[in-house]
Structure 1
Amino acid sequence: MPGIFTVSLDLELYWGVRDKRSIQDYEENLRGERQAIQEMLAIFDAYGVHATWATLGFIFFADIAELRAQLPRDTPAYSNSGLSPYPYIQEHEWGADDQYHFAPELIELIRRHPGQEIGSHTFSHYYCLEPGQTADAFRADLTAAIDTAKACGIEIHSLVFPRNQANPAYLSLLHELGIRCYRGNENALAYKPRNQEQQNAWVRGLRLLDAYINVTGHNTYSIEEYARSRPFNIPSSRFLRPYSPSFAWIEEFRFRRIKQAMRHAAVNNRLFHLWWHPHNFGAHVAENQRFLGRILAYYEQLRRRYGMQSLNMGEVSLLLERLHAS
């Protein structure tokens, strides 16, 4: 079995950063996100790259009125109330910035491109490891996400946990609700699932260093090993950090870090999983797309030389299902 190149994107608009940044502070990224997505889709088409777009349930709706009509009764009661988007829904002055909150047209655009899967990023950007949240509230949230997608003719098979807060206690619930796979974290201490309070400066600094220098290994994975239990874990290998003028002088280190791991997966018939948020590319769009183009051009070299194939998470899960049954 040849190596696999997997891409997943966390499509969340402003909802994904609402508890950390104001719209004004992040507006450049939000304003450029739609252009970035269009350019990503074009380059995916050019290189035959399949990707999973883990899409937040909120953004399926056209406006706040539609969203309010479909809110679940059981919502997360985080100990830190600022993490919940539900007070924001009631208090925000809606209208002028709807494009940063809703995007059903983007979902339809993505669906029209070959090899692109719409997955779930939960309904409300649900944090599965924060104090105060419960399994019942998570069930209500994920059910709302699945039902919202189904109303648009989309069956959800893949999930990405917001902030990578994969909660082992909830995996059986994923399977129960028809989710075949999820994106787990890298197998290194720095990437262990944590809630916000546990994300200290040491952990963040180590992950930043690891983006440029091989600190935690290649983080590629044996397909056979991850076919053993459902729902299938399709772990992350590398977060594609966005371009930063401050770090432009070491861009080649960032590229080489990704390139070496991709080659390791191709040569050894393993899986390499790259992920990012589309809004990461909303600022410095040209620089980010140029860097992505270099990665995909290298994938094309690996495809030709080693037979590496591009599969989205849903397609990987079908492969894992066949191995699981054999």
Structure 2
Amino acid sequence: MGTVVISIDAELGWGFHDHAVADRPTDRIERSRWGWERLAELLAEFRIPATWAVVGHLFERECNGAHVGHPSPSGWFAHERGDDPMDEQYRFAPELVEALVESEVDHDIGSHTYSHVEFDADYATKPLARAECDRAIEAAEAAGLSMDSFVFPRNRVGHREMLAQMGFTCYRGHVPDTAGDGPYTGPLRKLAAATVVTDPPPLVEPTVDEYGLVNIPASLYLFGFEGPARRLLSATVGDPIVRQAKLGVDAAAAGEDICHLWLHPNNLTTEADLTRLRDICAHIDSVREETDLTVETMRTVAARTKPEDVSAV
């Protein structure tokens, strides 16, 4: 019996706050709430639970932007202050989280740190990692939630011992770049994968690491092939990511491993993006009805992988 897992990096504007203002993708930021709401609606429509790894600051309703005592690099919270701060709707979102909790779908609310710190970056000291975990947990607990799952911002894995100490039980790990084994590199590799490769994305198996955490690696980023090439291929041979995702779902249904799909709500900026997700969700639902395929969250995968150390679900 195979499984599909969907994990979501729920960050709104926090995913880009460390970029120079001129380098921030304004289209993705400005559509991030729209994308979040549409994604939640799609998952509810198809009864698909997901792991929403939420930046902890989004649980907050207000702040002064100072974050006194937080051991962050100089200027880390500058986007909250100054003459032209990032709009509050991209820094606070308690009502969006509340809607997920109240959904009829049993979503897993996990952590994406408190302020989108990359845990393996040079600036990410141990005190900073602890503060990010502490504040994220406190913000979630104030909303009546406990968190088991952790997704590293930009998939930069680090300070895993800290996660174990703070009570997390699982995280989304890396998966080898198997596409690099062929004759193509760079942009050509992506084009080859979209047009030539017919193998599914790598299925994964959860493992317990040296800190007792359950590592649930990713299989496929659902927005890793974009731009003019995507539009051209979608108009001729169909959306290549949809094809890859369907191959992964089918492979999981035929075996016992996991197809772990992931995305950001701010990836959804157009109706074409919604169509991609709808096609994938519809396929998951169809295969689930016809086979023994299950759809799980990171939390439930961790619970069955190492049940004695995972809180009740």
- The one-letter amino acid of 1:180's match is T
Q: Which residue of 2 aligns with 1:35?
A: 34
Q: Which residue of 1 aligns with 2:164?
A: 175
Q: Which residue of 1 aligns with 2:9?
A: 10
Aligned: 1:219 with 2:202: yes
Shift of 1:218: 2.4
Aligned: 1:108 with 2:98: yes
- The one-letter amino acid of 1:181's match is C
Alpha-carbon distance in structure 1 between the residues aligned to 2:79 and 2:150 = 24
- The one-letter amino acid of 2:134's match is T
Alpha-carbon distance in structure 1 between the residues aligned to 2:308 and 2:2 = 15
Shift of 1:137: 1.6
Higher helix share: 1
CA distance 1:56–1:207, change in 2 (3 Å)? farther
- Map 1:269-308; keep pairs closer than 5 Å: 269-281=256-268, 283-284=269-270, 286-308=271-293
Alpha-carbon distance in structure 2 between the residues aligned to 1:249 and 1:312 = 34
Does the residue aligned with 1:37 lie in a helix, a strand or coil? Answer: helix
Q: Which residue of 2 aligns with 1:149?
A: 140
CA distance 1:228–1:306, change in 2 (3 Å)? farther
Deviating more after overlay: 315-324 vs 175-184: 315-324
**TM-score computed with the length of structure 2 as normaliser:** 0.85
Alpha-carbon distance in structure 2 between the residues aligned to 1:321 and 1:292 = 31
Alpha-carbon distance in structure 1 between the residues aligned to 2:264 and 2:25 = 14
Alpha-carbon distance in structure 2 between the residues aligned to 1:307 and 1:136 = 45
Alpha-carbon distance in structure 1 between the residues aligned to 2:22 and 2:100 = 25
- The one-letter amino acid of 2:173's match is G
Alpha-carbon distance in structure 2 between the residues aligned to 1:136 and 1:324 = 25
Alpha-carbon distance in structure 1 between the residues aligned to 2:179 and 2:78 = 32
Alpha-carbon distance in structure 1 between the residues aligned to 2:120 and 2:241 = 30
Does the residue aligned with 1:64 lie in a helix, a strand or coil? Answer: coil
Matched residue count: 299
% identical equivalent positions: 26
Shift of 1:203: 6.3
CA distance 1:173–1:228, change in 2 (3 Å)? closer
Alpha-carbon distance in structure 1 between the residues aligned to 2:199 and 2:133 = 32
Q: Which residue of 2 aligns with 1:234?
A: 216
CA distance 1:147–1:72, change in 2 (3 Å)? farther
Does the residue aligned with 2:51 lie in a helix, a strand or coil? Answer: strand
Alpha-carbon distance in structure 1 between the residues aligned to 2:161 and 2:84 = 39
- The one-letter amino acid of 1:100's match is Y
Shift of 1:47: 1.6
Shift of 1:172: 2.0
Q: Gapped runs of 5+ residues in structure 1?
A: 192-201
Shift of 1:92: 5.3
Alpha-carbon distance in structure 2 between the residues aligned to 1:109 and 1:267 = 34
CA distance 1:190–1:76, change in 2 (3 Å)? farther
Does the residue aligned with 2:306 lie in a helix, a strand or coil? Answer: helix
Alpha-carbon distance in structure 2 between the residues aligned to 1:107 and 1:209 = 38
2:251 to 259, 264, 267: 264
Alpha-carbon distance in structure 2 between the residues aligned to 1:161 and 1:216 = 27
Aligned: 1:134 with 2:125: yes
Does the residue aligned with 1:91 lie in a helix, a strand or coil? Answer: coil
Root-mean-square deviation (Å): 2.9
Alpha-carbon distance in structure 2 between the residues aligned to 1:212 and 1:11 = 30
CA distance 1:16–1:205, change in 2 (3 Å)? farther
